Amino acid sequence: MSTDMTTADGPGGPSGATVQAKGLRAGILDLGDSVMLGLASTAPVYSLAATLGLIVSVNGNYTPFILLLGFIPVLFIAYAFRELNSAMPDCGTTFNWSRRAFGPWAGWLGGWGVALAGIVVLANLAQVAGQYLWLLIGDGSLAQNKLLVTGTGVLFIALMTLVNYRGIRLGEHVQRVLTYVQYIALGIFALAIVIRIVGGPPEGQAFDFEWFNPIGAFADPGAVVHGALLALFIYWGWDTCLALNEETENPSTTPGRGAVISAFVLVAIYVSVALLVMMYATVGSDGIGLGNEANQDDVFLAMKDVVLGPWGWLIVVAVLASVLSSTQTTILPTARGTLSMGTHGALPPKFGEVHPKNQTPGFSTKVMGIAAGAYYVAMSFLSENLLADSISAISLFIAFYYALTGFACFWYFRGTLRASARNLWFRGIFPLLGALLLTAAFFISAVQMWDPAYGDTQIFGVGGAFVSGVVLLALGVVLAAVCRFLPSTRGYFLART
């Protein structure tokens, strides 16, 4: 069943722009839920644990500045999401907005970018969830059992797929519990560091405003670019709340506010926790220092026993809860993106089906779960190094669909930019700047990944991360071409937007 739902605003103000109501459970999420989902989807505890050491290895004491710098294009694109959502609150987000701005091919590829990033990152989340669960049991040696970890990861994907399939309210309850667990544990960890900094021996390093000095940071422009690209990944995920716009109160306004609020909360969390960890552990290369290569895969794991003593398992629980919550919230937007594509005819009609009782994209949710599980198993047993490199390529997918959204915002609203200063900045300048910065990030990442020394694998003398990223993106072009000639989807490509 589908009906037309009138939105509040089109490109020129009130215009009666319409979006299809797809049968999802409308109005069940409020602003608080929207912000929580945006925060949870980024897996902030895990993102910090896994990325902070890498940024420090490149940028040293300028890491706090890099975290702020990486936030700028993300914020600009958050404004693009908010403005486009105000005119077209469709759960397809980038797919629908790019379609309306540039036509069916751009829309299809934008939808593919969202789905691709979700499927690949789910493999990473499943791997980490499996490892961290078994770290809590016994002496932690079971976390090295490849078959056990892979099976556990697949089980977690299946469980979170089932939660999303059964209904948005159940998913919201599960998400709330997981969010509370990870933030309470992170808060205890941060408080313990504060107590040790204030009352312990002066073994760390004192706060210095130089850490935020752009002149000092840009003494090595290459390091700044590299660090900013790493920072881009840890902010990714706040746009989940936009994919749930049709299930949120006031769909044209609340999800956009939730996206911007969650983006600001994230940067506050990342910078403040990074400062505390740097002051306590230092950026040195010895012991628990953030510059120690042995700690770079997970700086919190290296610090947990020193900071929390016998309660060190709390940080393991926090990371586990973080990746589980992100697993659930990553399935949400990918399933709703393909639901929208099915509704608009870009995918076979089966993808556009909504479960009549659960009011969820039943078929799309199952397909996303199965695709993520299959990809994870295949890559785990084919090559764990290639799995790691394909995960590195996620930055290409993120930059691609974020930049496309920014360009779509600028182009869709181009006729209204002179109407007010607000329109000029929030619908024009900010989205365009964000899109240009992310386009540059895309090509810089691609050049870096081309180097055979980048990552853990090389294919035909080229970095495996580059090949993985290009092959997976190119697969979208192939699939779009197939859909162009399928009887069930051909009409989408022939219709005028």
* Residue 20 within a domain: no
- Cα separation, 490 vs 252, whole angstroms: 30
Going by C-alpha positions, the residue among 331, 290, 385 that lies closest to residue 58 is 290
Q: In this structure, what CATH number is given to the domain that contains residue 262?
A: 1.20.1740.10
Q: How many domains does the chain have?
A: 1
DSSP state of 463: E
Burial class (CB within 10 angstroms; exposed 0-12, middle 13-18, buried 19+) of 92: buried
In a domain, 23, yes or no: no
Nearest to 441 by CA among 268, 235, 282, 283: 235
The residue segments making up the domain with residue 110 are: 31-494
Do the domain assignments include residue 13? no
For residue 247, tell me if it sits in a domain: yes
Query: Domain for residue 5, yes or no?
Result: no
One digit per residue, the tens of pLDDT, for the chain of length 497 reads 334 443 444 444 433 445 567 889 988 999 999 999 998 888 899 989 888 988 998 899 999 999 999 999 999 999 999 999 999 999 999 999 999 999 999 999 999 999 999 999 998 899 999 999 999 988 889 989 999 999 999 999 999 999 999 999 888 889 889 999 999 999 999 999 999 888 765 678 889 999 999 999 999 988 898 888 888 888 998 999 999 999 999 998 999 999 999 999 999 999 999 999 999 999 988 888 898 888 887 899 889 999 999 999 999 999 999 999 999 999 999 999 999 999 999 999 999 999 999 999 999 999 999 999 999 998 888 877 777 777 778 888 999 999 999 999 999 999 999 999 999 999 999 999 999 999 998 998 888 888 888 877 888 888 888 888 888 999 999 999 999 999 999 999 998 65
Kindly state whether residue 405 falls inside one of the protein's structural domains.
yes
